[in-house]
């Protein structure tokens, strides 16, 4: 069995003539429009952070008749919502039995919530509410969760029993001898298939959410950092920005791994961890099928896991991180390339065309957190669990 730990004996990295350290997804999607220079002096709600959560909240509030201003310190569409792997997974870092045992009825509700989130994404893509579909290359692919060590096979069998046998979900275990039908690699000892997983073009999906929010009446301002939130009388807030102040009834903060000084307590609740991705040149279709015969979303069980998939235009996207230590994009790129070849030796000689990185927000309990700090509502801690 090949080792999943890259060594110096691996072939040197091959870079495409068009190689660049840029986000492939961002290059393939239109940049969401930002508002003109004028900044409103008041609004019902100010949303800070224009990722999936911020845009979804803005759209929901605007459709209910609220005046909404969305602020982002970077250009709209710069952050994690357009940098991620594009995997739509109804996932928390613990299963339903563990959640219920630990949190009681709240745990069951948490698990139900992520399944509802998955359905919500598919509903947004389909456009059942008259908002129109979001063209984002979405497809229901299923996910293959792979045991990188033999000792983890019983763990995966337990997952399949919990989700499939006990809850009746479309989840099943695949023994090592059956993996050839799922993945072109001999590096793994077994896997679990979750059918309720999808592939999405994350930047096109983000652009679609931005359009839905704007169409509902929300006003989006990129390159407009909020620097302070001041609680005023009667529960009102004043949001101080680089371009003026906005008086509002409520402020919502959805900065995730990019939390800053606008809500200092929030920054202390998440750990930003770097995650990096490489994308190959477009593969020959036969080679692509040899890597992923069923076009699954692929994830392994390592603590510093790998995640990979075929893109809509036929590249292999391979992501992960070596450790918690800081890394440059070239360092991460070379590690991921060697790791990709350790998993899929048939890709030897395939060139890398794009490489990029970003941050994942990790919480101490590996669960998302929603609450209020000083009268300000926040949601954070996606923990690298995908788009939904």
Per residue, the 3-state secondary structure of 161-189, as one string, reads: HHHHHHCCCCEEEEEHHHHHHCCCCCCCC
pLDDT for position 121: 95
pLDDT for position 4: 64
pLDDT for position 9: 44
Indicate whether 163 pLDDT > 80: yes
Report the distance separating Cα 99 and Cα 317, nearest Å.
31
**Beta strand spans in 148-281 (E):** 171-175, 190-194, 198-199, 219-221, 226-231, 237-241, 244-253, 271-280
Provide, rounded to the nearest whole percent, the portion of the chain with pLDDT above 70: 96
Confidence tier at 84 by pLDDT (50, 70, 90) = very high
CA distance readout (Å), 189 to 142, 145, 170, 235, 298: 19, 11, 21, 56, 14
pLDDT for position 10: 58
**Beta strand spans in 336-388 (E):** 352-362, 369-373, 376-380
Name the CA radius of gyration of the chain, rounded.
Answer: 21
Report the distance separating Cα 227 and Cα 66, nearest Å.
23
Query: What is the pLDDT of the chain when averaged over all its residues?
Result: 93
pLDDT of 302-361, one tens digit each?
989 999 999 999 999 999 998 888 899 999 999 999 999 999 999 999 999 999 999 999
Cβ–Cβ under 8 Å, residues 103 and 110: yes
DSSP per position, 114-134: HHHHHHHHHHHHH-TTTT---
- pLDDT higher at 95 or 337: 337
Report the distance separating Cα 55 and Cα 239, nearest Å.
18
Which residue's structure tokens are 């390339």? Answer: 337
Sign of CA dihedral 342, 343, 349, 355: negative
Of 385, 330, 386, 387, the closest CA to residue 357 belongs to 330
154 Cβ contact partners less than 8 Å away, ≥ 6 residues apart: none
Q: Report the predicted TM-score, pTM, of the whole model to 2 decimal places.
A: 0.95
pLDDT for position 6: 53
- pLDDT higher at 46 or 264: 46
Question: Measured in Å, how far apart are the chain's first and last C-alpha atoms?
Answer: 34
Which residue's structure tokens are 């979750």? Answer: 194
Average pLDDT of span 278-296:
98
pLDDT for position 57: 97
Q: List the structure tokens of 380.
A: 């954070």
pLDDT of 9-41, one tens digit each?
457 899 999 999 999 999 999 888 887 778 999
Confidence tier at 7 by pLDDT (50, 70, 90) = very low
Cβ burial 339-350 (10 Å sphere, 16+ → b, else e): bbbbbbeebeeb
């Amino acid at each position: 069995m090949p080792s999943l730990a890259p060594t110096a004996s691996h072939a040197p990295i091959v870079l495409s003539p068009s190689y660049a350290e840029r986000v492939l997804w961002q290059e393939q999607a239109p940049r969401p429009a930002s508002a003109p220079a004028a900044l409103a002096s008041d609004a019902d709600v100010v949303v800070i952070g224009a990722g999936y959560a911020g845009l979804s909240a803005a759209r929901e509030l605007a459709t209910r008749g609220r005046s909404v201003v969305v602020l982002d310190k970077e250009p709209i569409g710069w952050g994690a919502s357009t940098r991620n792997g594009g995997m739509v997974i109804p996932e928390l870092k613990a299963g339903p039995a563990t959640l219920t045992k630990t949190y009681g009825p709240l745990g069951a509700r948490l698990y139900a919530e992520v399944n509802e989130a998955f359905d919500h994404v598919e509903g947004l893509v389909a456009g059942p509410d008259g908002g129109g579909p979001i063209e984002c290359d979405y497809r229901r692919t299923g996910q293959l969760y792979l045991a990188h060590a033999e000792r983890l096979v019983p763990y995966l069998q337990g997952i399949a029993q919990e989700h499939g046998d006990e809850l009746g979900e479309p989840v099943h275990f695949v023994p090592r001898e059956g993996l050839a039908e799922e993945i072109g690699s001999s590096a793994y000892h077994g896997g679990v298939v979750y059918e309720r997983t999808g592939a999405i073009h994350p930047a096109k999906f983000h652009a679609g959410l931005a359009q839905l929010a704007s169409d509902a009446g929300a006003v989006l301002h990129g390159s407009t950092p909020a620097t302070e939130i001041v609680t005023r009388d009667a529960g009102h807030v004043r949001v101080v920005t680089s371009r003026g102040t906005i008086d509002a009834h409520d402020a919502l903060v959805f900065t995730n791994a990019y939390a800053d000084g606008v809500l200092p307590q929030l920054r202390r609740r998440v750990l930003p961890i770097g995650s990096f991705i490489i994308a190959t040149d477009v593969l020959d279709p036969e080679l692509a099928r040899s890597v992923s015969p069923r076009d699954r979303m692929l994830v392994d069980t390592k603590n510093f896991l790998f995640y990979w998939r075929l893109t809509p235009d036929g590249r292999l996207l391979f992501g992960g991180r070596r450790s918690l230590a800081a890394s440059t994009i070239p360092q991460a790129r070379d590690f991921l390339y060697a790791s990709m070849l350790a998993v899929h030796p048939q890709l030897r000689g395939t060139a890398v065309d794009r490489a990029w990185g970003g941050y994942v927000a990790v919480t101490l309990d590996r669960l998302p957190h929603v609450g209020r700090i000083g009268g300000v509502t926040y949601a954070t801690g996606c923990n690298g669990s995908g788009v939904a």
